[in-house]
Structures are given as structure tokens and as C-alpha cells.
Amino acid sequence: MEHAGHAEHEDSLRPGSAHPCALLWSPIPVITWILPMIGHLGISTSRGLAFDFAGPYTVLQHDNNHLLFGPVTRYLPLDPRLSLPLACGSILQDYHAAWDSHLAATATDYRKNKDYNIFTRNCHQFVCSYLSGVAYKGCTSWNMVALAARMFLMGRFVSPCAVLHSLGPSAVLFAVGAYFGRLYFLYAWLGIAVPLVLWFVLFTAFGTM
């Protein structure tokens, strides 16, 4: 019975169909609870097949609207026609085929050549590599900070239940922390959030891969 209830909860997070050609996001237990702007990022093909960088030389593929840490809760549609090297014709199917081919090639490169580092080469960096490689919106230098901010501010929730799944634990944590810890909780949270955000901003500005 418990397993059935869990399955129903996951089903309620799924939309009617997967999201093709989109950024995909799911919360990471504990980390997202503390820092709700941070989660696990993937990207999908024109058929809705999700790709995400999950560890050293490991890029997963999912056909059930899941990522490494569970169901997709947020998505942000992308337009393959805005990728300059994919401009192979006026037929949308041509763009979709090229989009999928480039994504498969990026996944193959990461499976063969890319180790994993949570601070420098992670799931966001995988998506950055792909978008930069296809010059999405004319940009060849997509970075983790830009993607994380775009997803947090512009990402769409797949359902009302997904809102609770994504932000509910953070809301409870902040409410309890603010009530019992007051300024001490705020200082502790800032002590975690500020150095982490500062690191990614500095790495984006000055780091090299």
C-alpha cells in the first residue's frame, strides 16, 4: 500500500506528456531544501527523452520524465530554431533531428572524456556544453549561473503538486528555522548560501574548464 501511494505521488508530478526540447529540473534532497535555487538539471530531445550528467563518465537517459533524483518538477521550453549550427533548412523536423544528433554527441563526449566535480563539472555544466556547442540564441559561452538563474526565475512547474514537491520542504525548514532560530538561523543560512553562490559566480567569471 505504501508503494502504491508513492507511485501515485510520482504520477501526480508528471504532465500528460514529456517536455520536448526543454531544460528539465528536479529537486535534490536536502540540498534543495536548504538552497531552493539549486537542483538537478537535464535537457531533453525533440521526443522528450531526458539526458542528465549523473557522475563520472555517466550520462543517463530517461524516457519517463524523470531525472537522476526523481520526477521532473520544472521545465523551460527551448526552441531548436534558435540554435545557429542547426539551421539546416526551413522544415522543423530538420531542426529536431539536428538537435537530437548534437545532444547525443555531447552525451557521448561526456561518457568518454568527462569526470565529475560537483563544483566545476556537474549537471549544469553538461547542459552548458550542449547549448554553447549549438550556439543557442547565438551564445557560445553559456554558464552555470545563467542557467541556474534562468531555471529558478523562469522555469514552469509541471503541476501544483510539483510546486509542493519542489518548495514545500524549504518552506517548512525556513518557517521552523525562523521561528526557533531567528537571526541565528538567518546567519547560518547566509553562511552556507553566500560562499556557495560567490564560488559559482567567481568560477563563471574566471574559471576554465
pLDDT tens column, 62-93: 887 889 999 999 999 999 988 866 555 555 56
pLDDT tens track for 160-190: 999 999 999 999 999 999 999 889 999 999 9
Residues 142, 164, 8, CA angle at the centre, nearest 5°? 105
What are the E-state strand segments in the chain?
Answer: 22-26, 40-44, 50-55, 58-62, 66-67, 70-71, 74-77, 156-157
Cβ(111)–Cβ(52) below 8 Å: no
Q: How far is the C-alpha of 204 from the C-alpha of 183, rounded, in Å?
A: 31
Q: How far is the C-alpha of 58 from the C-alpha of 56, rounded, in Å?
A: 5
pLDDT tens track for 33-67: 999 999 999 999 999 999 999 999 999 998 878 89
CA 117 to chain CA centroid, nearest Å: 16
Mean pLDDT estimate for the chain: 86
Asked if pLDDT for residue 195 goes beyond 80, the answer is yes
Q: How far is the C-alpha of 121 from the C-alpha of 124, rounded, in Å?
A: 8
pLDDT at 85: 62
Q: What strand order describes the sheet that includes 74-77?
A: 58-62, 50-55, 40-44, 22-26, 74-77, 156-157
Asked if pLDDT for residue 192 goes beyond 50, the answer is yes
Note the pTM of the prediction, 2 decimals: 0.84
- Of 98 and 1, the structure prediction assigns the larger pLDDT to 98
* Residue 183, strand partner residues: none
Q: How far is the C-alpha of 81 from the C-alpha of 87, rounded, in Å?
A: 7
Q: How far is the C-alpha of 126 from the C-alpha of 172, rounded, in Å?
A: 32
User: Which of helix, strand or coil describes residue 56?
Assistant: coil
pLDDT tens track for 107-163: 999 999 999 998 889 999 999 999 999 999 989 999 999 999 999 999 999 999 999
Asked if pLDDT for residue 4 goes beyond 60, the answer is no
pLDDT at 87: 52
pLDDT at 92: 55
